[in-house]
Chain A
Amino acid sequence: MTAEQKTDVQWADRIAAIARTQDQTAFAEVFRHFAPRVKAFLMKSGADSALAEECMQDVMATLWNKAHLYDPSRAAVSTWIFTIARNRKIDLLRRYARPEPEDLPWGPEDVPDQADVLALQQETTKLAAAINALPEKQRQLIERAYFGDLTHSEIAAETGLPLGTIKSRIRLALDRLRHAMT
């Protein structure tokens, strides 16, 4: 299997290696796959090439810095990197610090349930397949919404995507986390 075809679970292992041992080889693998995509996402969102490169490097450095806070039972690696890129995009392009929800990290002693991690990664794979199976017009609308091409009132949340199951999975992981925190 080449570096380009890793599954979500394998990406999650690379992030764990960065968190545990500051593994630069794992970081380089993550970088080769995600950095060009993050840069493309930023350019689609209106940044020129130079700003997108600058912002992307910042996003990837943030990933390194936050690797120990990544929770694979609540987000695939692609989802997690998307949220970092989106927040930095708003910080830079709109020039304000984006308000983010209070984080709920696992404590150093507690770790997410491996079954939760697998279940969420499977749901994420299904979601990606469902997006690819959408009619071209609808798929483009969803992409444009996430590039910031649509205003809030143009966004139709009825995507026809299987978001109910993914929500239930994440809800379960949150319940376990809340339980571990008390």
Chain B
Amino acid sequence: MQTIRHTLPDDLLMGYAAGVLPQPFDLVVATHVSLNDDARARLAGFEAVGGAVLDDMDGAKLAEDSLECTLARIAGMVPEPRPMPSRGIFPTPLQRVVGGDEDAVRWKSLGMGAKQALLCSDGEATARLLLIPAGQAMPAHSHRGMEMTLVLKGAFRDEDGIYARGDIEVADQQVDHTPVAEPGEDCICLIATDGRLKFNGLLPRIAQPFFGI
């Protein structure tokens, strides 16, 4: 069987390299890159462009005592400890925001066993965790802006194929999709949206203002 790897498009990686994405999108990109070495290598390429731009700049005039001040800052500093690989299912950037791994998430029920937890919001953009019970469908929805869905545990299937741990789906308002969690294991996703989702079904639409989906 062919395995489809779903990763981030270049414009989002370059946006992350340049530092122009909203915070919730930064979180999803950093988490995806933690799980996907191909995205990590492509991101490093875009960061190399940033390094070349930096190196090519005409320098600004520094304060007279700039180097001395910096050396004074350094005095007494301890080198940053070597980072340890994260344990559990959440990579480090996500654990920092959640305050721990899966068991530290403060879930809110959405009914039918589905749960979500809001993580951060930056005006229009929001990041949240969503848990869909094994074999269940996420309510059909379309959205106004862009939506990034990164699988952390389990898998889901939609019109485009199967998404497993580390896979990311990037959808815009044109996509009208119905993700279904694969049987066997609950599916946990990290999702960033740049606006509130618009549901197509009647009941979920009524529920939308209450659940903040």
Contact = CB atoms under 8 A, between A and B. Distances in A.
Interface of A: 24, 27-28, 31-32, 34-41, 43-44, 49, 52-53, 56-58, 60-61, 64-69, 74-76, 78-83, 85-87, 89-90, 94, 96-105, 108, 123-124, 127-128, 131-132, 142-143, 145-146, 148, 150-152, 155-159, 161, 163, 166-168, 170-171, 174-175, 178, 181
B36 to A, nearest CB: 10
Contacts, number: 225
A89 to B, nearest CB: 7
Contacts of A131: 49, 52-53, 56
Interface of B: 9-15, 17-21, 23, 25-27, 29-31, 33-34, 37-38, 40-63, 66-67, 69-71, 73-74, 77-80, 82-83, 85-86, 91-94, 96-97, 122
Main secondary structure of the interface of B (DSSP, over half): helix
B82 A105 contact: yes
A61 B67 CA distance: 10
A-B CB proximity, top 7 nearest: A36-B59, A79-B51, A157-B10, A78-B51, A102-B34, A40-B60, A99-B30
Q: Dominant SS at the A interface?
A: helix
A20 B165 CA distance: 38
B38 to A, nearest CB: 7
